[in-house]
Amino acid sequence: QVQLVESGGGLVQAGGSLRLSCAVSGGTFSSYVMGWIRQAPGKERELVAAMRWIGSNTYYADSVKGRFTISRDNAKNTVYLQMNSLKPEDTAVYYCAAGVSFYRSTSPGGYDYWGQGTQVTVSS
């Protein structure tokens, strides 16, 4: 069973930066797709970034391109989301998720394992 634990959320002013971390353990996750998914109050979940555990291909939602960067540290079994130039509309609960199927990983519903989420609040 894959376990995901996020950290790094908080309150930041618009234009600021935060880095989210996701510690991954359990199972054989080297073939998984890792994603960061957010959900704001009253809105649908949005896949903001994703990458395979092995390889360099990445995905970013148009809303975060050029501002967010997903990365990983294989030695630490940790996935990161560096968020720069934050905007009030980035306010949401951010979840780290792992997907078994590459083909299903293009949408939030395609992920099989989820962390507990971490709150990111951007003030104007």
* Per-residue confidence (pLDDT) for residue 13, from 0 to 100: 98
18-61 tens-digit pLDDT: 999 999 998 777 789 999 999 999 999 999 999 998 888 899 99
Beta-carbon contacts of residue 48 (< 8 Å; ≥ 6 apart): 36, 37, 38, 60, 61, 63, 64, 68, 81, 94
pLDDT tens per residue, range 83-92? 999 999 999 9
Nearest of 116, 100, 117, 102 to residue 38 by alpha carbon: 117
Q: What percent of the chain has pLDDT over 90?
A: 81
The closest of 51, 87, 50 to 67, measured between CA atoms, is: 87
Phi-psi label, residue 117: left if phi above 0, alpha if psi -120 to 50, beta otherwise: left
- Quote the percentage of the chain above a pLDDT of 70: 100
Amino acid at residue number 26: G
Q: What's the distance, Cα to Cα, between the start and end of the chain in Å?
A: 40
**Could you tell me how many residues make up the chain?**
124
The DSSP code for 4 is: E
Which residue type does 100 have? V
